[in-house]
Every structure is written in C-alpha cells, then in structure tokens.
Amino acid sequence: MDPHEAFGGDDLFGHIFGGGGGGMPSPFGGLGGFLGGFGGGRRRGPARGEDTVHRLKVSLEELYMGKVAKLQLSKNIICTDCGGLGGHGTMNTCGECRGRGITVTVNQIGPGMVQQMQSKCRSCDGEGEVMAESDRCKTCLGRKVVPSTKLLEVAVEAGMKDEQKIVFRGEGDQVPGVEPGNVLIVLQEKPHPIFKRDGADLFLQKTITLTEALCGFESTVTHLDGRSLVIRHPPGHVLKPNCVRGITGEGMPIYQQAGERGDLYVQFSVDFPPSYFAEGDKLKELESLLGGRAPASPLPEDHEEVNLTEFEERSRGSHDHDDEMHGHGMHGPQVQCAHQ
C-alpha cells in the first residue's frame, strides 16, 4: 500500500449543556522564504505540481469501525518510451509563440479601445518548443506524458472526522522536470438517520411514553457496530421532557488513541397521552397518586373568567418587535437534567 498520512458536527444538545539564505529574492515573496527554511532566499529543488483533491463519502458506521476503500485514480505519467522527451529528435523554438508558450490576441472593441487576450499556444501546447512530427514519440505523440490509472487503497481509520484529509504523497500528475503533487482524499461524512456526532461524542433522541417516564422502562438501542445496548431506567426516577442522560465510553473512538472513546448522550422526549384518556374516578385516582392538588385560593371579588385556547405561533417577524420591547419571547427556560 502506498504510504500516506492523515490530518485532523452538529452539537445536537449544545443548548442543554450551555450553550536557505542568500541569492536573488524569491519569486514567491514571503512564502518562498518560508518554504526555503525560514532563512529567506530562493526556493531549492524542482518545481512542484498541483495537488489533486478527491472527496470520499463515508458513513458514520465506517468512521466508527474504520474501513479500506479502493479508489481508481486517473492521472498522467511520464512516457517511458521517450523518457518524457516527447520524441527522438531536436526540440525547436515554437514559431507561433516564439518560445513563450502563450499567444496574445488583440481585438478592437470600439473607437480607440482594444481588448488583449492571452491564451496557451495551441501549436506547442504551451511548452514553447516543438518537434518535427516525424520525430515525435509514437506513444505519447510528442506530449511527453500518457494517461494512466492506478488503484489506491484508502485506509479510513476509526475516529476520523468529516473533512479530514488522507494524503498520498507524489501521486499527482507527472510532468517532466516537475515534482509530482500529492493526492488528497477528503472524507465527507454522510448524515445518519439516528445518531448525530459532535467530535468524539454521539447523540440520539428517544421518545418514551408518560408511563415509561414515570414508572421506568427497558429499551434496546442498536449501536453503530451492530451491538445491542440495553438501556434501563428504574421505577421512581422521573424523566422530564428533554432530559439528557449520558452513557460513558459509548461514543466515537478517539482517532489514534487506542481504547479511548467519547460518550453517548440520549435526549428523551415524552409522548403524553391524548386528551380525555381517562375519566371520572380514574382521573381522581391518578390525581391522588400524583400528590393531589394545592388548596385553591379564594377568588377576588373583581375577578374575570377567561378561556384557554390552542396557541398557534405567528411568523417570527411579528414577534421581533415585541421581544425587543419586553426583553423576552414566548419560550421559557429550558429543562436541564444531570449527566448520570
């Protein structure tokens, strides 16, 4: 396998947790000095070709467990028949561009106005030199390079992240006299239907009934590696809506730290029963089990009775002014639960 190296989402519940020296100056300016070894001066060695970037889509399961993906790479390599010379004859200066590799076209676009356009010379393909057709290499037809394909094995290691790069050095297009660039494989994490990732932590949302919230429950969650995690909550410990519970060590593997993992967090939403689910004595019994009611306060003499109706939130724009005037909106403080 070719040598390579690697470099280093949405926080679903973020609101719950609180939100060389000497010589002529380098043509690359300050950057050239930096590349030369912090000492300034011209850049040493051959020029380097551009990097080639490929995006590789990977699932959260693959980032959790790791995988080896095979990628077919198309690139140019130096022609072996002519050794990158383009043929076996003599190279001559291109008569079209006079060795510059570019041609300039001047067009008049109005009285006293001209437009100058610069493009790669078609006669020499921007090389500035040409060879007689009879002397050109029969394999590359004088282009010095030929197309080639190569199969790359991309090792996606457990714990890698979205947008992380895997580098294959020197696997870019080859050009005579130029050091090949690198091939960069950029990982692109696909959305998962159940789990959300934030660094090394995983998050999921689970809906439970009011009975389960009050009386406890047992449920199974299928993890990213196929394991079944049994979640138990004992009776008597009430789970409030939007409460979060943590499971230590069941998050994502931490990249290149063997055995280290983040945590898994579960946010519970409570599915309340429909209206009029019980009547009469059953409601009285339930009321008693829940602790009864506080004594009613006496009504003032000038009281006025009003009715509660279903609230349909208006468009956000209609609330902006009111929120600014009153310093708050319709939403109250959010419920938080301890991490256990």
Query: Residues for the chain: how many in total?
Result: 340
Instruction: Give pLDDT, residue 248.
Output: 95
From CA 162, how far away is CA 186, in angstroms rounded?
Answer: 8
Instruction: Give pLDDT, residue 317.
Output: 52
Longest Cα–Cα distance of the chain, Å, equals 113
Q: How confident is the model at residue 274 (pLDDT cuts 50, 70, 90)?
A: confident
- Going from the C-alpha of 217 to that of each of 213, 243, 287, the distances in angstroms are 8, 15, 22
Q: 76 with 145: CB under 8 angstroms?
A: yes
pTM score of the predicted model = 0.66
Instruction: Give pLDDT, residue 38.
Output: 41
Average pLDDT for the chain = 81
Q: How confident is the model at residue 249 (pLDDT cuts 50, 70, 90)?
A: very high
CA nearest neighbour of 149 among 170, 177, 182, 171: 171
Instruction: Give pLDDT, residue 45.
Output: 55
Copy the structure tokens of residue 78: 């130096």
Q: 262 with 252: CB under 8 angstroms?
A: yes
Q: Do domains 1-8+46-77+147-190 and 192-278+335-340 have the same CATH topology?
A: yes
Class of domain 1-8+46-77+147-190: mainly beta
Sequence-distant (6+) residues with CB within 8 A of 334 are: 15, 16, 242
pLDDT tens digits for range 198-220: 999 999 999 999 999 989 999 99
Give the number of other CB atoms < 10 A from CB of residue 207: 10
Least confident of 18-27, 140-149, 254-263: 18-27
Give the number of other CB atoms < 10 A from CB of residue 276: 7
Within the chain, residue ranges assigned H as helices are: 29-35, 60-65, 210-215, 281-289, 316-326
Domain regions of the chain by residue span: 1-8+46-77+147-190, 192-278+335-340
Give the number of other CB atoms < 10 A from CB of residue 270: 18
From CA 31, how far away is CA 23, in angstroms rounded?
Answer: 16
Copy the structure tokens of residue 26: 């380098």
Residue 119 has pLDDT above 70, yes or no: yes
Instruction: Give pLDDT, residue 30.
Output: 41
Q: Report the CATH fold assignment for 192-278+335-340.
A: HSP40/DNAj peptide-binding domain (2.60.260)
pLDDT (average), residues 35-41:
42
> DSSP code of 247?
E
Q: 152 with 71: CB under 8 angstroms?
A: yes
CA nearest neighbour of 90 among 130, 125, 140: 130
